[in-house]
Structure 1
Amino acid sequence: MNRDLAAELHRRAEQDQAVRRRMLETGGGRDLVRIDADNTAWLKQAIATHGWPGITLVGEQGADESWLLAQHADHDLDLQHQVLSLLQDAVAAGEARPRHLAYLADRVLVAADEPQVYGTQYTNGPDGKLRLYPVAEPEQLDARRAAMGLESAAEYHRRMRRRDTEAD
């Protein structure tokens, strides 16, 4: 295991989450753009040097944190597409969690204005209420979610609504 890489991933993920908590509390997102850009540039370099930071390389927590940084690299869709491909291979090899692949796949689809597959992405509607982005073949949603180790769509929706009302 590469402990230095895992430690840097942890530091960056902590920073990522701290700035997002501050943004929810204060409404200010100035630091978010800077931190996401810095983390994205660093992640690109880490991938170029080490390949995808999977479980063997950085441990389970580090693999989770690698995905988190990629998930928040919305300003760099090329990187997200690259990571999506790397995650597919990593999941097949047992080096990443299937749920990470589901979340990133939906994120990339939503950015392309296409229906998501796993129902993981929400936005605020015009009324300020949380709403699910469109989903392809919604009648099969729970089966697809289960295949990726995700809870039912109804349970996820309840959890997201709880988080939304707690943030108010």
Structure 2
Amino acid sequence: MDIYLANSMRREQLTHQLVQMAARDLDVREKLQTADKLSPGYNPVMEAVHRQNANQLREIIAEIGWPTRSKVGEQASDAAWLIVQHSIAEPAFMKGCYTLMQLVCSDINPANLACLHDRICYFSGHPQRYGTQYEGEYLYPLEDATTVNTLRAGLQLPPILADKINAVSEFDINATKRDLHTDPTFNEWRKTVGWI
């Protein structure tokens, strides 16, 4: 078998694997949510899926680098991002993947990079830049409420309504000077896994 064909077949396998990993994540999440077992806290079944997916993604990254659109196709590249986005118990992994994604940003969905940036900010207790993270129905605090919709437009994300921005604007003044999370249980978990 020639090397090109072997490489092509391997890429197809990796594409399928990534899509299946993300599908399993979403399927387990939906079942837990339907059974009202997704929260409070981090459901151990969901955490196990996230950790298993993160481990498999590490192996894929070791083999081919970050799964870009040109390597595995758009759906599988988006699936890799979803896997990282959900690996909340592994801050070093999330941050490392963010760095890898920055290096290939022209070959991935730029909105995925923005969402991962905000997700890292959320779990680190810092304000977000692109307005992709919510706590329940409330927008998580922003770095700069005056530029968020301009940044979102550049990523082809819909604008955030003014009332949602106004609801968090009062937090923005001192947001960068303190950790934004006050829930002691959540903070203990963040400390345990290494976010703080």
What TM-score results when the alignment is normalised by the length of structure 2?
0.73
Aligned residue among 27, 36, 40 for 2:36 = 27
The separation in 2 between residues aligned to 1:144 and 1:39, in whole angstroms, is 30
The question of 1:116 aligning with 2:116 is answered no
Q: Is the 8 A contact 1:98 1:149 kept in 2?
A: no
User: Shift in Å at residue 90 of structure 1?
Assistant: 1.6
User: Shift in Å at residue 53 of structure 1?
Assistant: 0.5
Matched residue type, 1:77: P
Aligned residue among 138, 142, 165 for 1:135 = 142
Q: Is the 8 A contact 1:73 1:80 kept in 2?
A: yes
The question of 1:86 aligning with 2:100 is answered yes
Q: Secondary structure at the match of 1:145?
A: helix
Quote the residue 1:106 is aligned against.
118
Identity %: 29
The separation in 2 between residues aligned to 1:96 and 1:50, in whole angstroms, is 15
Matched residue type, 1:131: Y
Quote the residue 1:161 is aligned against.
none
Q: Is the 8 A contact 1:106 1:117 kept in 2?
A: yes
- Structure 2 segments unaligned to the other structure (5+ residues): 1-7, 38-42, 165-196
Q: Secondary structure at the match of 1:139?
A: coil
1:9-48 mapped onto 2 (5 Å cutoff): 9-28=18-37, 29-48=43-62
The separation in 1 between residues aligned to 2:151 and 2:158, in whole angstroms, is 10
The alignment of Structure 1 onto Structure 2 pairs a total of residues equal to 149
Quote the residue 1:165 is aligned against.
none
The separation in 1 between residues aligned to 2:86 and 2:93, in whole angstroms, is 11
Quote the residue 2:153 is aligned against.
146
User: Shift in Å at residue 30 of structure 1?
Assistant: 3.8
Q: Which runs of 4+ in 1 moved over 3 A?
A: none
User: Which of the pair has more CA radius of gyration?
Assistant: 2
User: Shift in Å at residue 26 of structure 1?
Assistant: 0.7
The separation in 2 between residues aligned to 1:75 and 1:30, in whole angstroms, is 11
Q: Is the 8 A contact 1:146 1:152 kept in 2?
A: yes
Q: Is the 8 A contact 1:116 1:135 kept in 2?
A: yes
User: Shift in Å at residue 8 of structure 1?
Assistant: 0.4
Matched residue type, 1:32: M
After TM superposition, the structure 1 stretch with the greater mean CA deviation from structure 2, 42-51 or 96-105, is 42-51
- Structure 1 segments unaligned to the other structure (5+ residues): 125-129, 158-168
Q: Secondary structure at the match of 1:138?
A: coil
The separation in 1 between residues aligned to 2:59 and 2:160, in whole angstroms, is 35
